[in-house]
Structures are given as structure tokens and as C-alpha cells.
Amino acid sequence: MFRHGSRFLARATTMTWRRPFATDLQAEYVADSSFTEAWKKVVPNVDPPKTPSAFMSPRPATPSSIPSKLTVNFVLPYTSELSGKEVDMVIIPATTGQMGVLPGHVATIAELKPGILSVHEGNDVNKYFVSGGFAFVHANSFADIIAIEAVPLDRIDPNLVQKGLTDFTQKLNTASTDVEKAEAQIGIDVHSALNAALTG
């Protein structure tokens, strides 16, 4: 058994196959000519179907040098907070820790945890509290941040945060089912992160 495993590992390390990143794709849609020819043989009177990439606008090309600004799109389910905004840096509350994103950052996907999202533009710093979501950092110095909920930090009432933390702690202590305990724990986690954002 171990002999077969070692042969497989030796073969796997010599392979040069590499899965392409989304940023490695071509900037413009190119139809698959072999598929189109096969389609026309089977159904000559109907145009071949298009994939979603055929309807998307071409992505910006990856620059040859590092740009001076990072272009940020910050989107919520009901609004767009930032759209194509050029900034100096963004600090993201990733589940693995705080992640600073500058122009030229390596392509990354990060899950967001409850915490502060900081957008730095010169001397101005705009801070938002996000409850969760995802950040997609592209190799062409674009960053797409999708959050479930976000509130500017200066619009959060510290008294309501303390009240919510107390209420959810009490709910956790009196919870009788696993669902009630999970809901109370989520409330405690979010309100604790809110409290840390306001006091820290």
C-alpha cells in the first residue's frame, strides 16, 4: 500500500499542471471554436448558447507595474457603499485576522468576521462595522467587498450595544434548546465585536 502511495506522490510532484486563477482568464470573451463547430453540425439553424462570461464586460487588464491606488467596490445586499473608489489601503476583518490590502496585493479570497472595515484615503479613514461577508482581492489592484450588513462606526450607539450584549447574555443563560443557544451566542459574538470596535 505504501509503495503505491509513494509512486503517486512522486508522480504528483513532477506534474506541471496548474489550476488557473480567475485573474488569469483572458480580458475578453472568446468563444470555444470546437464547441461552436460541433453545435452547428448538430443544430445548424440555431445559434450556439452563450455562457455568462459572454454577457460580462471585459475585466481591466493586470497592470505591468503596481498602481498607486487600490480600486474598491464595497457592496451590501441593498446598496453600494463604494463603487470604483480609488483608495490607498483597506483593512479587512478576515476570519484569519486583520488583513491590510494595498495596491498590487496578491489575488485572495477572504471570509469576513464581525469587525471593523477601514478604508484609508490619504489622511481620511472611514470605518464601517461589518457583520460578515467576503472580500475578493484581484491581481489588477481591484478589491470587491461583499458584506451582509455594514454601518459607519460613528452611527453606532454604545448604550444600545451594551444593552444588546446584556440581553443576549441573559438569553444564553436561560436558553433550553440548541437553536436558542446558537442564536444567543451569535448575538453575543456580534455585540462583543461591536463593543470592541467602539472601545478599541
Q: What is the CATH number of domain 70-152?
A: 2.60.15.10
Amino acid identity of residue 124, one-letter, is: D
Which positions ≥6 away from 13 have C-beta within 8 Å?
Answer: none
164 phi and psi angles, rounded to 5 deg: -65, -40
- Report domain extents, the chain: 2-54, 70-152, 156-199
Model pTM?
A: 0.65
Which positions ≥6 away from 97 have C-beta within 8 Å?
Answer: none
Model pLDDT for residues 117-141, shown as the tens digit of each residue = 999 998 999 999 998 999 999 888 8
Model pLDDT for residues 48-79, shown as the tens digit of each residue = 887 766 666 666 666 677 788 999 999 998 88
